[in-house]
Amino acid sequence: MQTLSLILSAIPNGLMTGAVYALIALGLTLVYGVLHIVNFAHGATLTAAMYAVYVLHAVFRLDPYLSVFLLTPIFFALGYAVQRFVIGPASHGSDNNILLVTLGLAIIIENALLAGFRSDTRSVDVPWNFNVIEVAGLFLPWPKVFAFFASFVVAGLLALLLTTTDMGRAIRAVAKEKTGAELVGINVSHIYAVTFGLGAACLAIAACLLMPTYLVNPRAGDAFVLVAFTIVVLGGMGSIPGALIGGLFIGVVEAVTSILLGESLGQIGIFLIFILVLLVKPTGLFGAKA
Amino acid sequence: MTDVSYRTIAVVVAALALLPLVLSGNVMVNFLAMAMIVTLAAQGWNILGGFGGQFSFGHAAFFGFGAYTMAILQVRFGVNAWFAIPLAIAAGALVGLFIGVLSFRANLRGSYFALVTLAFAEVFRILVNAWSFAGGAAGILVPINKGAINGQFADQRVFYWFALGCVAIVLFLTAYLLRTRFGAHLIAVRENEDAAMALGANTLKVKLGAIALSGGVTALAGALYTMKFLYLDAKIAFGAWISVEALLGAIVGGLGTVLGPVVGTLALLGLGEVTKHAVTRYTGGTIAGIDLAVFGALLILCVAFAPRGVLGVVDRVRAKYVGSRA
């Protein structure tokens, strides 16, 4: 049973990729949970963050894992500003408009990157890129193992922020009952922008974790964005544990289908799950009723 | 909502028909021909998104099915181009029904619907890319066989007039539909689906009709693309570019207006050409993607400042200086 052993070895790999997927999906699900919109610029923002990691490394020789401390606040601020000053005012409070504005942003970011960096694929070379860790007879690339654990730490911190801080309580209040939150004195457009900023910050962290093992080109985020949507839909729009479990699950599905169907059809499994979940149970596994 | 008379449509079509006689040159004719193809896709999008309020982000699915049906029928089955066109339209309508039955029966609305259409377009792209019968990743090439009987015109202006004819038919059809019960129900669904249902409109049937029609019209755009370029691959036919341009053409021109897609697409593609031209002029080279970046900015500006598109702005200006027509 060579196929079986191949599949078994694909599972840890899938879990590690899935953890980073989960981190990307976390930002998306958070924004959906609070603003009740799908942020179509999520993938493009991730691409932008990956380029930021690349530039910091290429120009200042900054280690991707150190870039985290610089890029996370920067992307938080960018996300905040974009929601507060572009998406919010431009969409006049209509959901369809928000969809269109984020789509417009995605197109701008993606093509600005294409204009600035051309379509070449770029990567970050660090000495520990190819280090491996041996676990139970399997050789696991250490940047991926690191990304796996880091993703959980970030998810935990985010959950802590949402449950224990005043800001977190305000965010959850706005997510549950916008008008009520407004009545008790919460500045809703500020909370919207903070949420959006948190989503972008998740992406900055994900980009720093991804860059040592992934390549970036102006469309790199596209590959992740539908995957992230799938995870969010599967786990239930707005649910943090849903995003984590959904991410791990999708990572494994992708790894296994790539082995069974070949690399080019590997993503089919993900999309089919996506369509199926949307059609059969749009609220997902952990989602509240819409 | 009978916002435009048949006479206005006739005047616009006649003016467009005269364009290649006034503006000569291959570049211009090719631009106009491409604009007609995108206009058709935008009209297809507008039927579902503009009048029905169901925003699709995956109209590439219909465009691709139309384009590939046209190419495969000609290349693999030796079907004449003119017979292949109605079959391509039928294929697009069927795919529309298929996606519609699945997603509307599951009651998907808003961002969910946008997402599921996007996912369908991606699935088709990946499948066609891996399907050797359709040429696989290398794409499919329709052999050159010049002659009007094969739908391959020596004079590109003839192709343009044919494409314009298709646009005209769809324009009249749309204007007619708006005067029917179906059109009224479709707009009711957009304005308030629950209220429309409560008042006895069969909203599911109306939405299915709209997506089938939308799919057919967009597939016609795809079929014309194959006719003009004689080459396809999965990235072209099912790529995000056409989903985006179809949506933009309708929104920039005026969401849910009959003439919006025509005006919007011409403005959009014209602006794209001007941008590329200006870049070449001032930098001496080309910058890939600059026209698309402008499109993205235009989309945001439209949503923010001109929710009824170019036609809405025209109406507002006219109301201010000439007095309202109503």
Chain B residue closest in CA terms to A37: B111
Spatial separation of the C-alpha atoms in residues A261 and A3, rounded to whole Å: 12
A103 to chain B: closest CA residue? B296
What percent of chain B is modeled with pLDDT above 90?
Answer: 49
Residue with structure tokens 């590690």?
A: A16
Residue A118, C-beta contacts closer than 8 angstroms, at least 6 positions apart:
B288
* pLDDT tens digits, B104-121: 887 777 788 888 898 899
Which two three-digit tokens encode residue B165? Answer: 């004819």
Residue A262: which residues within 8 A CB-CB, separation 6 or more?
A: none
> What whole-number percentage of chain B has pLDDT above 70?
98
Query: CB B300 to CB A101 under 8 A?
Result: yes
pLDDT at B326: 44
- Residues from A in contact with B at Cβ < 8 Å: 37-38, 40, 86, 89-92, 95-97, 99-101, 103-108, 110-112, 114-115, 118-119, 218, 222, 226, 229-230, 233, 264-265, 267-268, 271-272, 274-275, 278-280, 282
d(CA A211, CA A44): 15
Task: Give the containing element (helix H, strand E) for A73.
Answer: helix A64-82
Copy the structure tokens of residue A241: 């544990």
Q: Count CB neighbours of B4 within 10 A.
A: 18
pLDDT at B220: 97
- H helix count then E strand count, chain A: 12, 2
- Alpha carbon distance, N-terminus to C-terminus of chain A: 45
Interface contacts (A, B; CB < 8 Å): 128
Q: Searching chain B, which residue's CA lies closest to the CA of residue A113? A: B289
Region label for B48, one of left (φ > 0), alpha (ψ between -120 and 50) or beta (otherwise): alpha
Interval B155-175: pLDDT, tens: 888 999 999 999 999 999 999
Q: What is the mean pLDDT of residues A260-280?
A: 76
Looking at residue A50, what is its pLDDT?
Answer: 92
Identify the burial level of B138 via C-beta atoms within 10 angstroms of its C-beta, where 0-12 means exposed, 13-18 middle and 19 or more buried. Answer: exposed
pLDDT at residue A229 tops 80: yes
The pLDDT of B236-247, averaged and rounded, is: 90
Q: Which of A273, A270, A250 is nearest to A18 (CA)?
A: A250
Does pLDDT of A268 surpass 60?
yes
pLDDT, chain B, mean: 89
Distance CA A22, CA B143 (A): 47
Contact B203, B197 (CB under 8 A): yes
* pLDDT at B51 (0 to 100): 92
> CA A28 to CA A225: how far, in whole Å?
9
| Residue of B114, B126, B293 with shortest CB distance to A107 | B293
Confidence band (pLDDT; 50, 70, 90) for A266? Answer: low
Residue A141: CB partners within 8 Å, gap ≥ 6?
A130, A131, A132, A133, A213
pLDDT of A290 above 50: no
**Cα–Cα distance list, B26 to A278, B31, B240 (Å):** 47, 8, 27
Q: Which of B58, B319, B92, B311 is nearest to B218 (CA)?
A: B92
Of A117-121, A266-270, A272-276, B251-255, least confident by mean pLDDT is A266-270
What pLDDT was estimated at residue A289? 46
Average pLDDT over residues B9-20: 90
- Chain B residue numbers touching A38 (CB-CB < 8 A): 111, 114-115
CA distances from B159 to B42, B163, B195, B222, B253 (A): 19, 6, 45, 14, 24
Whether the CB-CB separation of B174 and B182 falls below 8 Å is answered with no
Tens digits of residue pLDDT in A25-47? 998 888 888 888 788 899 999 99
User: Which amino acid would we find at residue B234?
Assistant: A
Residue B257 contacts A, CB cutoff 8 Å: no
Average pLDDT over residues A70-86: 93
Tell me the pLDDT band of A8, cut-offs 50, 70 and 90. Answer: confident
pLDDT at residue A1 in the model: 55
Band of the pLDDT at B65, cuts 50, 70, 90? very high
Q: Which has the closest alpha carbon to B48: B58, B56, B60, B38?
A: B56
Describe the crossing of helices A95-117 and A42-60 by its angle, rounded to 10 degrees: 30
* B121 C-beta neighbours (distance < 10 Å), count: 27
Chain B residues whose CB is inside 8 A of the A92 CB are 304, 307
pLDDT single digits (tens) A127-173: 766 777 777 667 777 888 888 899 999 999 998 998 899 999 999 88
Share of residues in chain A with pLDDT > 70 (%): 94
Q: In whole angstroms, how far apart are CA B243 and each of A100, B105, B221?
A: 12, 23, 12
Kindly give, in sequence order, each residue whose CB lies less than 8 Å from that of residue A143, ignoring residues fewer than 6 positions away.
Answer: A128, A129, A131, A209, A212, A213
Look at residue B71 in the predicted model and tell me its pLDDT.
94
Q: How far is residue B115's CA from residue B60's CA, in Å, rounded to a whole number?
A: 13
Does position B1 have pLDDT exceeding 70, yes or no? Answer: no
Assign residue B2 a region (left: φ > 0; alpha: ψ between -120 and 50; beta: otherwise): beta
ipTM, 2 decimals? 0.84
- DSSP H helices, chain B, are 6-22, 26-45, 60-77, 81-105, 110-130, 156-178, 181-191, 193-198, 203-229, 234-237, 240-253, 260-283, 290-305, 309-321
Strongest mean pLDDT among A156-160, A269-273, B144-148: A156-160
Q: Do B111 and A95 touch (CB under 8 A)?
A: yes
Torsion angle defined by CA atoms of residues B43, B45, B47 and B51, in that order, rounded to the nearest 10 degrees: -120
Average predicted confidence (pLDDT) for chain A: 85
Which of B104, B303, B305 has the most A C-beta neighbours within 10 Å, making it the best mutation to test the interface with A? B303
Answer for the pair B242, B41: CB distance below 8 angstroms, yes or no.
Answer: yes
State how far the Cα of B220 lies from the Cα of B44, in Å rounded to an integer: 9
Residue from A77, A98, A76 nearest A87 by CA = A98
Beta strands in chain A (DSSP E): 132-135, 138-141
The amino acid present at B300, given as its one-letter code, is: I
**Token pair for B301:** 């500006």
Would the CB atoms of A38 and B115 count as touching at under 8 Å? yes
Residue B297 has pLDDT above 80, yes or no: yes
Distance between CA B157 and CA B267 in Å, rounded? 20
For A18-28, what is each residue's pLDDT tens digit? 988 898 999 88
For residues B163 and B204, give the distance between their C-alpha atoms in angstroms, rounded to a whole number. Answer: 32
CA distance B44 to B167: 10
Q: What's the number of CA atoms in the CB half-sphere (13 Å) around residue B82?
A: 9
* Buried-state track B312-323, b at ≥16 Cβ within 10 A, e below 16: beebeeeeeeee
- Determine the average pLDDT of the residues in B296-301: 90
Does A279 sit within 8 Å of B103, measured CB to CB?
A: yes
